[in-house]
Amino acid sequence: MHSVDQAIARLLATVQPIADVEQLGIDQCCGAVLAKRLVSGVNVPPADNSAMDGYALRHDSWHHADTPIPVSQRVPAGAVAEKLAPGTAARIFTGAEIPPDADTVVIQENCSEIDGSVLIKKMPEKGANIRPRAQDVAKGQVVLEAGRRLRPQETGLLASLGMATVPACRRLRVAVLSNGSELVEPGEPVAGGQIYNSNRYLLNALLRGWGFEVMDLGIVRDDPAEIQQLLGETAGKADVIVSSGGVSVGEEDHIRNVVAGLGALELWKVSIKPGKPFAFGHVCGTPFLGLPGNPASVLVTALIVARPYLWSLQGMSNTEVQPMQVRATFSRKAPSRTEYLRVRHSPKGLEIYPSQSSGILFSSVWGNGLAVQPEGHEIHKGDTIDFLPYALLL
């Protein structure tokens, strides 16, 4: 049985990232992975500009608070300023370009304008309240490297550089299937022995949230022939296949054998709780991830094991998530497998959900992240332990 780190390393060693590149509009690129290094073609800001509303002048033109200085021009944002006449000041507004020959902006709260002149009650040091050209980004500067997942802040930065389109890796195409004869879709009547299919919607939402294109294959029953036909037809149409259920050791768990028959089962069982019966292989050359059937196991294995692999396939250069160090409010015996505990980070510290059963999905809604308890390590109340907020994983 592989440790969590060993399993992730095994998967990552097989990764062949998406090579296709598409041009996305700036308003469509958030969540995509950058395909090429981007270099700024402009300075931001393009010229020295005012950080405040006030008056721009030469610092050495002011001598005393009682001496009025003529106001020679008015410069709103978006206007082109004229060269500052000697001994004068310019009325200026936030974001407006500094007139040539001006070197200081006095905030309006320290000024009073009378009859076309301004009295400066308090002069700041030379250069005050001026944002210099290229203060944010310089022309020729590398702003983003390939492999970066674009967030709202990257999107805003690229827009500030005037980039209308962005070279992005084609979205990963993920086929999702739910295995189990007991599964019924929400909205349908439930007979004895049946349950609603939650994994389908959990995985679809998770994968779409990561920016992937989802091929929803729905439910496949516990029938080896039906499973084989569906997997065989899907291979080649998707970049990767993800299933839930059917990978354990029960008589009705057929996924592993079908995958092995259609290609290769390269990894089975991970020393993780919940989620031990995790499987990885290839179906007719297409990567396959087999997640367990219990919903909490699906969530944990998707976030911890599948996520770095899928993000790497998508072209991300860094898939590591740095855990926070937070004090535990509970004690727990040493486990035989690394456990990912559903917890809630509160002002008290990390609170644990009473039941850590792999079938309790509500625990993930009650909490806001996962606490990591390594194999063989006890947790004592007051210990500082690793905490992975869902916000870093989604």
Instruction: Return the pLDDT at 251.
Output: 61
Q: What is the spatial distance between Cα 275 and Cα 245, in angstroms, rounded to a whole number?
A: 11
Contacts by 352-355, CB closer than 8 A, 24 or more apart: 352/328
Instruction: Return the pLDDT at 247.
Output: 77
Instruction: Return the pLDDT at 187.
Output: 94
Structure tokens at 289: 């991830």
Instruction: Return the pLDDT at 249.
Output: 61
Q: Per-10-residue mean pLDDT for the chain, 394 residues long?
A: 96 96 97 97 98 97 89 96 96 98 98 94 96 98 98 98 98 96 92 94 97 96 93 95 82 81 94 95 96 96 98 96 98 98 98 96 98 98 98 95
Residue 109 amino acid letter: E
Burial (CB count within 10 angstroms: exposed 0-12, middle 13-18, buried 19+), residue 89: buried
Query: What residue ranges define each of the domains in the chain, with the CATH number in brackets?
Result: 4-18+176-187+202-293 (3.40.980.10), 21-44+139-169 (3.90.105.10), 49-131 (2.170.190.11), 324-393 (2.40.340.10)
Question: Crossing angle for the helix pair 4-12 and 307-314, nearest 10 degrees?
Answer: 20
Other C-beta atoms closer than 10 Å to the C-beta of 317 total 14
Question: pTM score > 0.85 for this model?
Answer: yes
